[in-house]
Amino acid sequence: MEPVNRTVASEFLLKGFSGYPALEHLLFPLCLAMYLVTLLGNMAIVAVSALDARLHTPMYFFLGNLSILDICYTSTFVPLMLVHLLSSQKTISFIGCAIQMCLSLSTGSTECLLLAIMAYDRYLAICRPLRYPMLMSHQLCLLLAGAAWALCLIKSATETVIAMKQPFCGHRVVSHFTCEILAVLKLACGDTSVSEAFLLVGAILLLPVPLALICLSYALILATVLRVPSAAGRRKAFSTCSAHLAVVLLFYSTVISMYMKPKSKEAHISDEVFTVLYAVVTPMLNPVIYSLRNKEVKEAARKVCGSRQGCK
């Protein structure tokens, strides 16, 4: 039996959509537009939430966190992806790949927890309105958000270190447009069972469990809303809940399809399409669904813009 040719990887080639030149030309303007909308929309939410004292509430604190998270999440790979869509040189250094992997895993994992925390916050606000200020205190908000960010960073750093310590054999062509951990592990010639076990445990804890909590929270919210005597109030609540759930289900369904499907050595274009859906489209929709449709945010934005024009 011939020995396996093990090499120390110095860089990786991100294959991406290079097999589909026409698709690359279509994706560049689409992804650039979505990225700019994501940046502008989420930065606007962060600015308005910080500048208007009326929005210094738990709901908008978590929305601000979500906006910062979406900016960080998309910025870990979209700028490089846009460069690669226009270039024939699609390489990334080993260190750059590890950093990109860790940050995208961390921010993506944090979003899973943050969406569940936001659903729980809405449950308390609607179903326990009298006790809400006491139950969702400023200290608890900081603790929940800080714990989500810190735990997911530790988890993702551990997964990245284990994955990148693997020996890589033969070619170093990653069949993806980013250093997605599953795509990188397909190049490893060592035993990847430890990495796969970590990913499976993390996927179970961060996908079905938070999704179940989100669905339970919104089910209880809808049960409370049905008892509201005002028909207009019920319609508004149903509209808001359905929009929130649509974004949550889009995000979770695409991530679950990526991380909880049977493992395969074969690369599929659907993997990259799913990544675009949950990592580019969802962060763009979040400001629209969660904030820009909100009357309080619109009024705060007009107030901030008006005060700036007055200063000029």
How many whole angstroms separate alpha carbon 102 and alpha carbon 119?
26
How many whole angstroms separate alpha carbon 90 and alpha carbon 80?
9
Q: What is the pTM of this model?
A: 0.84
How many whole angstroms separate alpha carbon 105 and alpha carbon 153?
8
**Mean pLDDT (the chain, rounded):** 83
How many whole angstroms separate alpha carbon 289 and alpha carbon 282?
10
Q: What are the tokens at 245?
A: 């759930």
Whether the per-residue pLDDT at 264 is higher than 90: the answer is: no
pLDDT at residue 21, as a whole number: 81
Q: How many CA atoms lie within 13 A of 307 on its CB side?
A: 8
pLDDT band at 2, cuts 50/70/90? very low
Q: Bridge-partner residues for 12, per DSSP?
A: 92
pLDDT at residue 79, as a whole number: 93
Contact status, residue 241 vs residue 214, Cβ threshold 8 Å: no
| Spatial CB neighbours of 164, under 8 Å, sequence gap ≥ 6 | 94, 97, 98, 101, 184
How many whole angstroms separate alpha carbon 64 and alpha carbon 56?
10
Residue scoring higher pLDDT (260 or 253):
253
Which tens digits make up the pLDDT trace of 212-230? Answer: 999 999 889 888 888 877 7
Region 92-108 average pLDDT: 94
pLDDT at residue 4, as a whole number: 47
Contact status, residue 190 vs residue 29, Cβ threshold 8 Å: no
pLDDT at residue 228, as a whole number: 74
Region 62-66 average pLDDT: 91
**pLDDT above 70: percentage of residues in the chain:** 83
Whether the per-residue pLDDT at 25 is higher than 90: the answer is: no
How many whole angstroms separate alpha carbon 190 and alpha carbon 232?
60
pLDDT band at 87, cuts 50/70/90? confident
Region 158-169 average pLDDT: 91
Whether the per-residue pLDDT at 310 is higher than 60: the answer is: no
- Beta strand 173-174 with 11-14 is parallel
pLDDT at residue 277, as a whole number: 74
pLDDT band at 15, cuts 50/70/90? confident
Phi/psi of residue 190, nearest 5 degrees? -95, -170
Q: Bridge-partner residues for 91, per DSSP?
A: 13
Residue scoring higher pLDDT (138 or 297):
138
How many whole angstroms separate alpha carbon 148 and alpha carbon 144?
6
